[in-house]
DNA sequence: GGCCCGAAGTTGACATTGTCAAGACGCCCG
DNA sequence: CGGGCGTCTTGACAATGTCAACTTCGGGCC
């Protein structure tokens, strides 16, 4: 609880992770400043170094946390309860986008190894990727025997990751405006349509 | 000509753009430093400010140059000479990836508006996107009358952009290694397969 | 042809940042 | 109750982005 002595924070690592994700979500991973994070957490500017080695270490921790949240979402009970692999893949697509828009600070650093030089996220990314390959494997077994699972997984991962990346660029409020015409689709409707296209592409490539 | 007086550089803006793209390609857009660029161009640390307002202005110039190169590649004579719209789309996918891997410094900043706050790339991005929508429109007219062109364009753009983004993360030397199994496909082979899937997805969604 | 004004580049300064070394604080185990 | 160690602070340093003032060049105008 609120300790009278402020010298020991209690759970500074988690507070720093949260403040970092929040700050990056506001100003981006470049403008993000280690000292500002310390300020928000109410500690001195050098305190973060005792828990995370340096700036890169703190960003790495946020990236790993993001991959874990993604893995949890892609492998949730709700999703694993879906038997039809095509429906499950669509649900995973929706879940992916939901996690991305719900954790902008995390996703801003998850695919940027240059932000934590000489370190990596371990197998956190591979675990999340495995959630997708599992579903693609089901699709291959049931619907598309000749499908290359790895290429198929890269296909759907690229699609959904590209959508997330582009949506952060193109518009605000979930709407896109590109060129003369404006794409007025909600992002939810868009991911629905794109999932449909992706599934047909997968199946046609494997039969 | 090697001017005897070094005071006036001759074409400093272009030299700075080139040095910036090169440096970003080496160390990423975050570690990139304005003073280092000036050093490489052989000018003093404040010289860039006279041509590009500040750090963001220089990065913005590189981003716009990248969009222009992309537009040129997607609308090259070779590509426009391809009559079959499906073949043309596949060629544009290949061209997109080629430009991306050939200009890593540019692509590292093209979809990052947070790197140039309060500024934007104008219509440079929309022009490139238009090259794709043109081809998708052909596909709709000839093969898939009910296809939503904008959604289809977002689909293929997301896919190819996601592939580019992920390829920068997953591996070196054009190979991917994910999880236990390793995806040994060359990126060229991968984009070929993915184009195939994308086209089938588009057509099935529009008929 | 000479001048001169503005473009192009330099120098110096300042606040901010990331990192490191050294020290202060407080809890826990003996 | 005393010492040790994890936790946090303080102070310092080099590097960075940006601003203001200064210097140098070159082309246009009379």
A116 interface with B at CB cutoff 8 Å: no
A113 interface with B at CB cutoff 8 Å: yes
Contact list in A for residue B152 (CB cut-off 8 A) is 197
SS3 annotation, chain A: CCCCCCCCCCCHHHHHHHHHHHHHHHHHHHHCCHHHHHHHHCCCCCHHHHCCCCHHHHHHHHHHHHHHHHHHHHCCHHHHCCCCHHHHHHHHHHHHHHHHHHCHHHHHHHCCHHHCCCCCCCCHHHHHHHHHHHHHHHHHHHHCCCCCHHHHHHHHHHHHHHHHHHHHHHCCCCCCCCCCCCCCCCHHHHHHHHHHHHHHHHHHHCC
Q: How far apart are CA B94 and CA B90, in angstroms?
A: 6
Confidence of residue B177 (pLDDT cuts 50, 70, 90): low
| pTM of this structure | 0.91
Determine the distance between B141 (CA) and C13 (C1') in angstroms: 64
> Which of B143, B197, B200 is most worth mutating to test chain A (most A CB atoms within 10 A of its CB)?
B197
Of these ranges, A115-124, B82-91, B116-125, the one predicted with the greatest mean pLDDT is B82-91
Test B159 with A158 for CB contact under 8 angstroms.
Answer: yes
- Of A159-168, B23-32, B50-59, B78-87, the range with the lowest mean pLDDT is A159-168
In the predicted model, residues of chain A with pLDDT beneath 70 are: 1-9, 171-185
Residue B174 has pLDDT above 50, yes or no: no
Q: How many CB atoms neighbour CB A172 within 10 A?
A: 9
Test B165 with A169 for CB contact under 8 angstroms.
Answer: no
Average pLDDT, chain B: 89
Question: Between residues 32 and 91 of chain B, which touch chain A (CB distance below 8 Å)?
Answer: none
Residue B207 has pLDDT above 50, yes or no: yes
C19 nearest neighbour residue (CA to C1'): A54
Nearest to B201 among A111, A179, A200 (CB): A200
Q: What is the pLDDT of residue A168?
A: 77
Question: Between residues 160 and 199 of chain A, which touch chain B (CB distance below 8 Å)?
Answer: 160-163, 165-166, 168-169, 176, 178-179, 181, 183, 185, 190, 193-194, 196-199
Q: What is the mean pLDDT of residues B64-77?
A: 98
B205: closest CA of chain A, how far (Å) = 6
Q: What is the pLDDT of residue B171?
A: 62
> Which of A24, A178, A188, A197 is most worth mutating to test chain B (most B CB atoms within 10 A of its CB)?
A197
Nearest CA in chain B to A152: B194
State pLDDT tens for residues B4-48. 456 666 789 999 999 999 999 999 999 999 999 999 999 999 999
Q: CA of B59: how far to CAs of A31, B62, B71, B98, in Å? A: 14, 5, 18, 21
Q: How far apart are CA B173 and CA B9, in angstroms?
A: 37
Q: How many CB atoms neighbour CB B94 within 10 A?
A: 17
Q: What is the pLDDT of residue B167?
A: 83
Nearest to B162 among A114, A158, A179 (CB): A158
Q: What is the pLDDT of residue B24?
A: 97
Of these ranges, B29-43, B154-168, B182-196, the one predicted with the greatest mean pLDDT is B29-43
Residue B89 has pLDDT above 80, yes or no: yes
B3 interface with A at CB cutoff 8 Å: no
B133 interface with A at CB cutoff 8 Å: yes
Q: What is the pLDDT of residue A79?
A: 98
């Amino acid at each position: 609880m609120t300790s009278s002595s402020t010298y020991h924070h209690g759970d500074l690592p988690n507070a720093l992770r949260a403040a970092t994700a929040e700050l990056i979500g506001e100003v981006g991973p470049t403008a993000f400043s280690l000292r500002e994070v310390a300020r928000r957490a109410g500690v001195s500017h050098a305190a973060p170094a005792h828990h995370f080695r340096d700036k890169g270490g703190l960003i790495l921790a946020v990236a790993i946390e993001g991959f874990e949240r993604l893995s949890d979402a892609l492998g949730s009970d709700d999703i694993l309860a879906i038997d039809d692999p095509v429906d499950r893949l669509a649900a995973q697509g929706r879940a992916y986008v939901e996690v991305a828009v719900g954790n902008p600070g995390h996703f801003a650093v998850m695919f940027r190894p240059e932000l934590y030089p000489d370190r990596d996220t371990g197998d956190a990314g591979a675990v999340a990727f495995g959630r997708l390959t599992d579903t693609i494997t089901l699709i291959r077994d049931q619907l598309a025997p000749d499908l290359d699972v790895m290429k198929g997984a890269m296909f759907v991962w690229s699609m959904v990751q590209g959508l997330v990346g582009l949506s952060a660029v193109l518009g605000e409020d979930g709407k896109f405006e590109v060129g003369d015409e404006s794409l007025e689709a909600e992002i939810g409707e868009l991911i629905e349509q794109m999932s449909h296209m992706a599934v047909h592409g997968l199946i046609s490539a494997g039969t």
